[in-house]
Amino acid sequence: MDEKKDRWRSTTILAIRKAGSVVIAGDGQVSLGQTILKSNARKVRRLGKGDVIAGFAGATADAFALFERLEAKLEQHPGNLARACVELGKDWRTDKYLRRLEAMMVVADKNSTLLLSGTGDVVEPEDGVLGIGSGGNFALAAARALMGFDIPADEIARRALAIAAEICVYTNDRIVIESIEIA
């Protein structure tokens, strides 16, 4: 198997925007190939002054470098997450060092939820639900199925990640959730 593909099988991150709150949830597993290195990693955190939440999938050191860069962009563009993300996306795509980073990020504030990738993409989901990482599609499908029920966003995230953990060997059930009230 291609070594580069092994690095991307790393986690599950899920963002949900529903009924006055936005949550980003992530599992705690860190894997290297078929080996679990750690089961309680924290891949979801608050940025800036606590008004932005973010989660990452991919190489851990790369993600920390991106968190730092995004925090710098948030300082340059306070209160404007979309602008900070577009500026980071430009840098990520054009900077020789950043282009080599292998990670994806989901970030959210009270106004928007965005996916950031190394190709310079800054994408906002139309339905308020976004999943990344090896178990991202499993969690995304489960979350979309649960969105129509009277269940709060954090509980949808817990249930969806639990489902992903049952399917994806690179995802576990040690879930960290950060949330922001938006209304």
Which residues are marked as active site?
Answer: 11
* CB environment 104-132: b (16+ within 10 A), e (fewer): bbbbbbeebbbbbbbeeebeebeebbbbb
What distance in Å separates the CA atoms of residue 99 and residue 119, rounded to the nearest whole number?
8
CA 19 remoteness from chain centre: 20
**32 DSSP β-pair partners:** 35
Q: Which two tokens stand for residue 130?
A: 């976004």
